Amino acid sequence: MNNLKKQDHSIEISPHNHIPINSIINANCLEVLPQISSNSIDLTITSPPYDNLRDYQGFHFNFDLLAQELFRVIKPGGIIVWIIGDSTINGSETGSSFKQALGFISKGFKLHDTMIYQKSGFAFPSKTRYHQIFEYMFVFSKGKPKTFNPLIDRPNKSQYTFSKKRRKKDGTISHKDDTTRIKVNEYGMRFNIWRYKTGRGHTTTDAIAYEHPALFPEALAKDHILSWSNEGDLILDPLNGAGTTTKMAYMLNRRFIGIDISEKYCKIALERLNLIKERLSSRFPKYIPHVIKFEMV
């Protein structure tokens, strides 16, 4: 494996990693990941190119190698959130999402949860099947998840429930006269289908981000970061696109590494960080995001 040459030396280098923290790295992630120490990443949130459904300037990636490297760099108990949908080719959905889910399991990950990201609209209308408004959010863990901060924001339908004593295992009611009511909290834990308003102005308010054809919503990245990591944790997006993951990591006081093969998208990701840098600099003065260009030597 060739070494990578860093052109910009002005940014913090982690003692544990051979690549800079809090940076957007313009390179093929398969060249950068081998430079990251094993067991160093707390959380990865990412979305791969879907069967070349969209035009990412012609860039591809090797799933098998990526999954293998991700397993190596993720900490024990760390999480990957893999957001993916299938395209339809010759009348059939490709099934890439399922194949990749099984691929991660074969590398050693546990499939911790199969979550759904439901959009408020569809991109490609179809005449022969129902409109496609969801993608998978596969949550993989390397062993037992070390962090879970559940989002408690689902309004409970009722303010009261009955005592559990009333219902027997076979479903019959044992104390028909037991009318004891228990007060429940106003909000309960979220279900695993997350709905987001999508489309211009909703996915993000950063107009420049829409130069990328396949953003996921900022709110989605935020919700996963809050759920599976703590402040100061290291978050990776190896297919960072216009930098939704890195922006939200920065905003939530997590450290981050974002990699994308497209220089254009890296510049957008950096600009989005710069848009919020002024606002956040008093909170996190140590964060100085840069685009780092790696070159093979």
Q: Which residue ranges make up the site for ligand SAM (CB under 6 A)?
A: 28-30, 47, 49, 56, 59-61, 212, 214-216, 239, 241-244, 259-262, 265
Cα gap 237→70, rounded to integer Å: 10
Query: Smallest distance, Å, CB 47 to ligand SAM?
Result: 4
Nearer to ligand SAM, 59 or 284 (CB): 59
The 3-state DSSP composition of the chain as helix, strand, coil percent (nearest 5) reads: 25, 25, 50
Cα gap 45→80, rounded to integer Å: 6
How many Å is the maximal CA-CA distance in the chain?
Answer: 79
Nearer to ligand SAM, 74 or 242 (CB): 242
Query: Smallest distance, Å, CB 75 to ligand SAM?
Result: 22
Query: Smallest distance, Å, CB 241 to ligand SAM?
Result: 3
Q: Looking at beta carbons, which residue is closest to ligand SAM?
A: 241
Query: Smallest distance, Å, CB 262 to ligand SAM?
Result: 4
Nearer to ligand SAM, 31 or 93 (CB): 31
Number of helical H runs and strand E runs in the chain: 6, 16
Beta partners for residue 28, in sequence order: none
Nearer to ligand SAM, 12 or 55 (CB): 55
Query: Smallest distance, Å, CB 254 to ligand SAM?
Result: 16
Let me know if 85 is exposed, middle or buried by CB neighbors in 10 A (0-12, 13-18, 19+).
buried
Query: Smallest distance, Å, CB 248 to ligand SAM?
Result: 10
CB neighbours of residue 1 within 10 Å: 7
Query: Smallest distance, Å, CB 219 to ligand SAM?
Result: 12
Nearer to ligand SAM, 17 or 77 (CB): 17
Range 248-261 burial, b when 16+ CB lie within 10 A, else e: bbbbbebbbbbbbb
Nearer to ligand SAM, 81 or 234 (CB): 81
The separation between CA 192 and the C-alpha centre of its own chain, rounded to angstroms, equals 14
Cα gap 20→3, rounded to integer Å: 15
How many Cα atoms are found within 13 Å in the side-chain-facing hemisphere of 185?
A: 6
Specify the DSSP class assigned to residue 34: G
Nearer to ligand SAM, 30 or 166 (CB): 30
